[in-house]
Copies of this chain bind each other. A is one copy, B any other.
Amino acid sequence: MVKIGYNGYMSQVLLPLFKMLKKAQEILALQSCIQRDTALEGAAAAIDKGRRAILSANAADLERARQGGMKEALLDRLLLNDKRIDSIVAGIQSVIKLEDPLGRIRSEWQTPTGLLIKEITVPLGVAAIIYESRPNVTADAAALAYKAGCGILLRGSSAALESNRALSAAFKAGLAAAGGVGDAAALAASGDRGEVDEILAARGYIDVVLPRGGHDLIRRVVENARVPVIETGEGNCHIYVEESADINMAADIIENAKSQKPGACNALETLLVHRKALPFLMPVLASRFAGKVELRCDEASKNAIRDCAGLVLKDAVEEDWETEYLDYILAVKTVDSLDEAVEHINRYGTRHSEAIITADLKAAEEFCRRVDAACVYVNASTRFTDGGEFGFGAELGISTQKFHARGPMGLAALTTIKYHISGQGQVRA
């Protein structure tokens, strides 16, 4: 054990990495936007040109994962190919195109004693991201952090270790070759679980930890962290079909939100239907979901379905309202009012993405105002909650926490503010 910074104790395996990141971030923070963008161009080029090494490292990860019996869906998340490398490179390019988030004067005023106070955006510092599986997160997070003047510690899953090594090596070499600060990004690559505990205890070195992954990972981080955490991702998302809704629009949106990518955190999990909309909506949904999506219905919504060949239909129980299935399963509940819909969502939702389908402006406004979530939708699919879809270039994850970062986290999530106060000798009376 060694005393670090001003108030922490930790074991020492990652300490040299923490020190390197902190030092590198202090240098990076002084670079202009042009310098940061030039370095990112270098990183994009290095990944582009280094794709052979990256793909071969990825092949080794895939082979190991297959031998370990990884499921096909997870193998697909792990997989890199030329198209996906192209998309990683394009991701870095789109981060380069974003405006500089730093040095913006958010407010400025003079106090009665003549002090001039400026509120200025600055890099948050050193972030650590702990993530699972998909290697593209490595490049997305590193690019966003670099553009925001932040150091970043990348802690990917052991399954993607070789891919992440190759990607981050190319990224760092590309930064350095273009005159940038290669040490501002670092991969925690021992694969040892103890690394996570070190990160969570790194007060004075890590300014924020971003867990991005399943329930267990997020829970472990929240319960053990002594550094600030921004939680991401758990999404028990709802769509409420109000009685005035256009039924075809509702069915299209529900089908998209549930089945276009059920494993995503912004996918629909529980459908709330106004009693009066049941006889119109449920038969349409039943025929669309037959053979595709299992329905877990309450009494009234179940009764609104005529026999439908191939539909798997079960009775919903209390647990269904609490569950993020991440699967081809949809819970359906009948409500008698917007009030009841809002209450259900605020009770069971995870503050992520919630939608109303309606033709009634007042209902839309009330829903948006009363539902407590990062993203509230009117007549659109919850699947749009995504940094790319929002135009953020890339994302670090979806914050379900209520700080400066809420919803999709792009560049702004990696900045904070600093007050500059200028005086002419003022002292406090």
Contact = CB atoms under 8 A, between A and B. Distances in A.
Interface of A: 5-7, 26, 29-30, 109, 111, 113, 115, 117, 124-125, 207-208, 219, 222-223, 226, 228-229, 234, 236, 246, 249, 252-253, 255-257, 260, 322, 346-350, 364, 368-370, 372-381, 383-384, 389-391, 401-407, 416-428
A125 B402 contact: yes
Given A383-B427, A427-B252, A402 B368 contact: no
Given A30-B369, A124-B402, A391-B109, A425 B384 contact: no
B6 A322 contact: yes
Nearest to A383: B428
A370 to B, nearest CB: 7
A228 B405 CA distance: 13
Contact of A425 (B5, B115, B246, B423): B246
Nearest to A424: B379
A390 B219 CA distance: 38
Contacts of A418: 368, 373-376, 406-407
A253 B424 CA distance: 10
A418 B425 CA distance: 41
Copies held by the complex? 2
A202 B305 CA distance: 40
Main secondary structure of the interface of A (DSSP, over half): mixed
B26 A426 contact: no
Q: Which of A125, A372, A403 has the most CB of B within 10 A?
A: A403
B229 A222 contact: no
Contacts of A208: 402-403
The 10 nearest A-B residue pairs measured at CB: A380-B423, A404-B404, A256-B427, A383-B428, A402-B416, A249-B425, A380-B426, A375-B419, A403-B403, A381-B427
A227 to B, nearest CB: 9
A30 B390 CA distance: 27
A121 to B, nearest CB: 11
Contacts of A390: 111, 117, 419
Given A7-B219, A111-B390, 6 more contacts: A111-B391, A125-B372, A376-B418, A383-B428, A406-B418, A406-B419
A380 B425 contact: yes
B30 A427 contact: no
Nearest to A117: B390
Contacts of A372: 26, 125
A372 B7 CA distance: 16
Q: Most chain-B CB neighbours within 10 Å: which of A111, A229, A421?
A: A421
